[in-house]
Structure 1
Amino acid sequence: MQEIEYTIFYIHKQYQRWCSILEEIKTALELLATSPDEQLLQEAQANLAQLQQELETAEIRALLTNSDDQKGAFLTIKAESDDADGQEWAYILLKMYYQWANKHNYQIHLLEESGGDVSGIKSATCEITGLYAYGFLKSELGIHQLQRLSPFETSGNLRTSLARVEVSPILDESIDLVIPDQDLQITRWQWHGQNINHPEIWVRVVHIPSGITVFCEQERSQLENKKQALAILKSKLVAIALAQGVKSIADIQPGEIKSLSSQIIREYVLHPYTKVKDLRTKVETTNVQDVWNGDIDFLIKAYLQQQSYMTVEKSS
């Protein structure tokens, strides 16, 4: 009930904001009709662009009808290879999602990062909080493929790099998901002696039945890192159970877990031409840099519309 009340309040506030922006644009146009003013024109154009962006966001939110869609999200990016190209690609994606989150005024917090051997990252996990963050980002689940001339080689060879993106909803604290102790393997960094000024505080949690591993090191204590790691693990297990259509995490099929995020969903091409193409919806653009700057809502919207159409067809 509290979530519904907040949603109604949020929608009402947004509507009031849009009406206010629209009135400002109308007033500016009336003034410009009688007295040209370059600064006023630029302000009106900026307001119009802002209004268009917010209405686009509202259209996407209208497609988000699942109970978890309004939640925040845990986002994990993993390089699919140990070479510099693959790890650099994972880092490019991480920056893309950071910029996307900033455009939506979401809070993004890095929970874990494993640096690359030469450049980039091997993996990273972020917590993104804000209304509908999970609903938007669930469309990013899968393999992202980059094709380019390697900046790490002098031969000029065309290289294909892959990175896996995993997304799961941040669960409400009221959800009491109990994982048996015997199903968990928790590893902490341990130190001995009294002369260690900078002890490590990382925690690694493994869910033995599924093989899912979560590593946290960004919090201030081992206790906080353990709590965060367990929260991420539970989030991942719930997302997998929903995707597999089972009612309990005990019914999860371990052999099918990786297949949920193994499909190549999007390709990013820098050579011999520039293109970003979503392989599910066939939506594409030549503005690769805009996409890397976080402008991915048009890709997200197309995917959510496709899923909505498929749901309607199945029910008819």
Structure 2
Amino acid sequence: MADMDPAEKIKELAATLTSVTAVLDMDAMQTQIAELREQSADPELWSDQGNAQRVTRQLSALESMVSKVEGIRRRLDDLGVLYELAETEDDPDTRGEADRELEQLRKDIGDLEVRTLLNGPYDEREAIVSINSQAGGIDAADWAQMLQRMYMRWAERRGFPTEVYETSYAEEAGIKSTSFLVKAQFAYGTLRGEHGTHRLVRISPFDNQNRRQTSFAGVDVVPVVEQSDSIEIDESDLRVDVYRASGPGGQGVNTTDSAVRITHLPTGLVVSCQNERSQLQNKATAMTMLQAKLLARKREEEQAEIDEIRGESFSSWGTQMRNYVLHPYQNVKDVRTGVETGNTSGVLDGEIDTFIDAEIRWMRSREKDGEN
């Protein structure tokens, strides 16, 4: 493609955009937008806060998608004019600007193409991300905190709001666990491939002999539960513990026992929340997290039954999925997709879209193979 005429490159990108928008079904989007606008204009909508937020969130996401597609179309048209101007004026600077815009359009259309792959039953939901330190002692706790920062920076780069539900700090450094919400449509579909074990190799900053240390942290991603989901929880199946919220190093950050930990006895699932000062609010949030985890477990069990009938298994997604090597060389590599980079500092600062896009494509190809 490097030797192609710019007009041909633009034509090829325009054809790709047409294919992508056909899959997105822009006419159906416009119809849905009109229906949602009508609902949002109803004064009675806000009598149900949950439904009102769902309607406004969905409307905003659809309008944003339509605006993005229309903007890319305009930019493709303008790009042809820019190349013509560069040719007419024989202006290298204008040609360079056009080349940069061409590459950016290729990336933006590629992002739209990935969006068409997010068609799972829960992909459009917001996501709850949980991180737990595993083998590796202090380094594992520090690694879990580094991962938390990585995902927070990724969300910040994309303009996605986040809300930390709970963080359990380790005694010396780092965290034992954390759970946080990524509040964006399709956050779950985008992040679900991050589920699994993340392995770090580096010179330990906590070892006075400067030895190399391998540490592990587990990442779990589940979709937020909505009212339409049938997840029944029997109160008798729950053990609810309250305790005082703590900060780094075990420092108390609340003078009352407002933090809540809920154990689901039949499954052994444990969730906790300490971000609010009210015990009732923390319990409500913890219940939301528990419902999300139970929904994810239900989905996994249903998928396991389908795989058993089919005689195949795709359940290996939860195994080790990415290696981060900081010594003796710099490399981050995804075990499943093979995508890798030497820009470890960028990755740890949230530049993980290349990995995420490859995961989405990889998972969709596996799912399509399973359908056949």
Q: Flag whether TM exceeds 0.5 (same fold).
A: yes
RMSD: 3.0
Whole-Å Cα distance in 2 between the matches of residues 15 and 73 of structure 1? 25
Per the normalisation by structure 2, the TM-score is 0.71
Whole-Å Cα distance in 1 between the matches of residues 363 and 256 of structure 2? 48
Structure 2 counterpart of 1:210? 267
Question: Do the aligned partners of residues 31 and 102 (structure 1) sit closer, same or farther apart at CA in structure 2, a change above 3 Å counting?
Answer: farther
Whole-Å Cα distance in 2 between the matches of residues 176 and 294 of structure 1? 35
Structure 2 counterpart of 1:158? 212
Is the CA contact (8 Å cut-off) linking 2:202 and 2:325 kept in structure 1? yes
Unaligned regions of 5+ residues in structure 1, if any? 191-196, 248-258
Moved more, 273-282 or 231-240: 273-282
Question: Do the aligned partners of residues 118 and 55 (structure 1) sit closer, same or farther apart at CA in structure 2, a change above 3 Å counting?
Answer: farther
Whole-Å Cα distance in 1 between the matches of residues 302 and 347 of structure 2? 33
Pairs within 5 Å for 1:44-193 = 51-81=105-135, 83-189=137-243
Question: Do the aligned partners of residues 28 and 222 (structure 1) sit closer, same or farther apart at CA in structure 2, a change above 3 Å counting?
Answer: farther
**Residue 278 of structure 1: how far off its partner (Å):** 1.0
Structure 1 counterpart of 2:350? 294
Whole-Å Cα distance in 2 between the matches of residues 46 and 116 of structure 1? 46
**Residue 298 of structure 1: how far off its partner (Å):** 1.8
Number of corresponding residues: 298
Structure 1 counterpart of 2:369? 313
Structure 1 letter corresponding to 2:217: A
> For residues 280-315 of structure 1, what are the alpha-carbon distances to aligned partners after superposition, in whole Å with 9 as ceiling and x for unaligned?
122222221221122222212222222222233333
More helix by share: 2
> For residues 266-288 of structure 1, what are the alpha-carbon distances to aligned partners after superposition, in whole Å with 9 as ceiling and x for unaligned?
11111111111111122222221
Is the CA contact (8 Å cut-off) linking 2:231 and 2:294 kept in structure 1? no
Partner SS state of residue 245, structure 1: helix
Question: Do the aligned partners of residues 94 and 43 (structure 1) sit closer, same or farther apart at CA in structure 2, a change above 3 Å counting?
Answer: farther
2:359 to 303, 306, 310: 303
Whole-Å Cα distance in 1 between the matches of residues 110 and 301 of structure 2? 31
Question: Do the aligned partners of residues 54 and 108 (structure 1) sit closer, same or farther apart at CA in structure 2, a change above 3 Å counting?
Answer: farther
Greater C-alpha radius of gyration: 2
Moved more, 28-37 or 148-157: 28-37
Whole-Å Cα distance in 1 between the matches of residues 321 and 239 of structure 2? 32
2:324 to 255, 268, 271: 268
Per the normalisation by structure 1, the TM-score is 0.83
Structure 2 letter corresponding to 1:265: M
> For residues 213-261 of structure 1, what are the alpha-carbon distances to aligned partners after superposition, in whole Å with 9 as ceiling and x for unaligned?
11100024111111110000000111111112279xxxxxxxxxxx987
Structure 1 letter corresponding to 2:181: E
Question: Do the aligned partners of residues 246 and 262 (structure 1) sit closer, same or farther apart at CA in structure 2, a change above 3 Å counting?
Answer: closer
**Residue 14 of structure 1: how far off its partner (Å):** 1.9
Q: Which has the higher contact order (CA 8 A, sep 6+)?
A: 1
1:223 to 280, 286, 302: 280
Structure 2 counterpart of 1:283? 339
1:201 aligns with 2:258: yes
